[in-house]
Structure 1
Amino acid sequence: MLFKVENCDPSSYLNDLDKIIALENIVNTNASRNNIVLLDRATIDSIKKSDIYSLSTKHFVMDIEKQRREYGGIVKNLAIYSIVDFDFEGFECIRNINQWVIKIGYKFFCDHENISPVNIVTEGKLDFDFYSLIANYYTKHISSIKLQVKFKFHNGGGSQSKPIFDSLVKEGKLVLCIIDSDKSHPHKGEGSTSSVFTASDRAYNGKNLAYIINVREIETLIPLQIVENTLSNNNQVDTFEEVKLLEKSNPLFRTYFDHKDGLNLQSVIDIDNKHGAFWLPTLSSISRFSNKDCFKNSLCYRCNGCPKIIGFGDHMLERAVNSMKTSNLRKFNIEPQVISHWKNIGEIMMAWGCVPVSSISRAS
């Protein structure tokens, strides 16, 4: 995250150990390439001239000084950034024109743990790896700001995402959580993993944010060309061809499709009867569905001849992540409905997790 330091007078902190520790920790988080720090020239000059601070701190401040031109202008282009105020205690989140600002008191940085990268909670390590690839694509090929992204990962393991998020929030940490919705129908509620996150969790009102992606599962966000590259058997090839056809006729198909397990006619009849027409109209172009009496009557007769679209299996995300790590994603044609989610995820991850691109300059 970008930390912009304000109201800092380093030369006056001789008898204020907390402010000395906080300022040195803030400088160190930039040196460690865990966050980006902006200091004004007066603060930089004061540290360089003062006898209070260590030689390493002074060296690291010179590195921040060199970054001023490179990063000074990016503040207005981030979705969120932080002001570290040395005349303030506590924290607050405020809206400033088109972006959010987290205002943090200097005492937050008296704890050395708080100079690590921003904490992130996802439902698993593969999810984090996938979101990181999206963020990398965003920073290189979508955003005009060329930054790197870095987080401290926490494994939510599905149902543990909310407790881990709450625990980090209770500890006063900066924390971003990204979860998919598990929605299997446009008018159906979210699944058990995301629905427990409150309106407050999902809003900018502190040092934390739970971002719920409006898709059923993370596999929805895999571009079709990547999916095609990872097919492992004939059944998956058949599924892929049907998915392409259905996505073309209804761009929301993949948003609610169960990519791992697929679907059958009985399940879509039941869910459409409860929540309204979506799946049956979408499947009307496939004759093995639409020719069935149960399809025509929206009534399952328990005939044991239920047509299915077989899913891609439990390892789809793993195969996709491995493929994306070795692919030039810019050469892929990413569908508009997928790239729109990538833009949102990339923007959020870059704002919360941006770090300096260049390595720190070494003392001669």
Structure 2
Amino acid sequence: MIVVVRDFPDFIGSEEKIRAITNILTCCGEGKHVLWMPSGKAAELIESGIFSNYPLRVLYHIKEQSRLTKVLIEKFQLYLEIDFSNPNAFSYVDNGKMVVGYKKVMDTGSLQSCKFLVENLSDSDFYKLGASSVLYREKLSSQYCIQFRCENGGGNTTFSVFERLTSAQELVLCILDSDKNHPLGSLGDTASRFNHIDRGYGPGYQLEVLTCTEAENLVPFSVAREVITNTKPECLDSFGRVTPEFREYADHKVGLRQEMALELDERHGDEYWGRLIASNPPRNGEICPSLGDRFLTHSIDYMKLLSIGKLCESIDSTLDAKLLRISNCVASWGLGLKNPIR
């Protein structure tokens, strides 16, 4: 995550502020976050004579890179600003700005890489691959990487983990499957436990519930075709006729047939599936073939074999637009230095 320090009034003589600044410099120098401060402010800290050894080396780096690092704030959706006037601040303001008071970052544990909470750890592997492709697309992958401390909740316990992390004022990105099979359908058991939590940004967290069924629905089309060719070739012809609209709420693990889709329409009093079927009738009544429980795992394994350039090429800006949106979000939270400052 991008950490912003704009000013640190009256820091000289304040042991707590100096300790907070030292910790910020150390954690960001180690690559856990990316620090921006105005070059003049970095020079002020250098000239104070208070900082030495590793924090001082980080300050020189921050000063030299200030102009280039500031560009990142405009590229990404989120940054964390350290407030040296309000010591206990902990809030989300607006426009991707979170604020934390300096007393919250005085110990080394408080600025470790952000927590990434998903239902299954394979989901986090998938989303991190997407985020890495964002860095490559933005020509940032030589300097920056994606870093998280990942947590999985194991279905319904996901909410308990979320409560524990947010109560401890950890920085948390949480992405959940919706498990919906129809746009008017109910959320699945896990996501429905979060109904009273504001979606999007909150104090120290971002909660995203997928607008499709689950992570499998976001696997890039070109990756899905390669994986199906290697693991379930009998499904390739059927999947080749699946459109982004059909994929959105089709369960890729068990598949979806026309008669079941129309039953869902009747249940929800809507013609969502009916309209799609009328505009693009599926062959033999199969809207999406059954790709099995390991489809996402196979997709991740295949994506890991690709070079970052090839992975980026495999994600289409139109067909895979939903994946790109989530990938940008993940990149904002997980941004760190590829090579820690020595």
TM over 0.5: yes
Q: Which residue of the partner structure matches residue 2 of structure 1?
A: 2
Percentage of pairs with the same residue: 24
1:333-344 matches, within 5 Å, as: 334=316, 336-338=318-320, 340-344=321-325
Shift of 1:223: 1.9
State the one-letter code of the partner of 1:158: G
Shift of 1:349: 1.5
What secondary structure does 1:12 align onto?
coil
Q: 1:11 to 1:45 in 2, by over 3 A?
A: farther
Distance 1:213 1:139 in 2: 22
Distance 1:335 1:40 in 2: 34
Mapped contact 1:9–1:43 kept (Cα < 8 A)? no
Which blocks of at least 5 consecutive residues in structure 1 are unaligned? 290-306
Distance 1:155 1:80 in 2: 23
Task: Calculate the TM-score normalised by the size of structure 1.
Answer: 0.83
Mapped contact 1:80–1:101 kept (Cα < 8 A)? yes
Distance 2:10 2:335 in 1: 26
Shift of 1:52: 3.5
Q: Which deviations, in whole Å up to 9, do the C-alpha atoms of 1:80-136 show, x marking residues without a partner?
A: 1121111112223222xxx22111110110132112111110111211110011001
Q: Which residue of the partner structure matches residue 19 of structure 1?
A: 17
Q: Which residue of the partner structure matches residue 103 of structure 1?
A: 99
Q: Which moved more, 1:70-79 or 1:262-271?
A: 262-271
Task: Calculate the TM-score normalised by the size of structure 2.
Answer: 0.88
Distance 1:237 1:226 in 2: 14
Distance 1:354 1:193 in 2: 27
Q: Which residue of the partner structure matches residue 31 of structure 2?
A: 33
RMSD of the TM alignment (CA)?
Answer: 2.5
State the one-letter code of the partner of 1:77: K
Q: Which residue of the partner structure matches residue 86 of structure 1?
A: 84
Shift of 1:238: 3.5
Larger radius of gyration: 1
Shift of 1:350: 2.0
Q: 1:134 to 1:308 in 2, by over 3 A?
A: closer
Aligned pairs, how many? 333
Q: Which residue of the partner structure matches residue 279 of structure 1?
A: 273
Distance 2:183 2:208 in 1: 18
Q: Which residue of the partner structure matches residue 136 of structure 1?
A: 132
Mapped contact 2:254–2:291 kept (Cα < 8 A)? yes
Distance 1:310 1:245 in 2: 10
Q: Which residue of the partner structure matches residue 303 of structure 1?
A: none
Distance 1:335 1:21 in 2: 45
1:122-133 matches, within 5 Å, as: 122-133=118-129
Mapped contact 2:238–2:289 kept (Cα < 8 A)? no
What secondary structure does 1:72 align onto?
helix
Q: Which residue of the partner structure matches residue 236 of structure 2?
A: 240
Distance 2:52 2:329 in 1: 35
Q: Which residue of the partner structure matches residue 294 of structure 1?
A: none
Which residue of 223, 228, 248 maps to 1:255? 248
Which residue of 314, 326, 336 maps to 1:332? 314
Q: 1:288 to 1:4 in 2, by over 3 A?
A: closer
What secondary structure does 2:96 align onto?
strand
Which blocks of at least 5 consecutive residues in structure 2 are unaligned? none
Which residue of 46, 53, 65 maps to 1:55? 53
State the one-letter code of the partner of 2:330: M
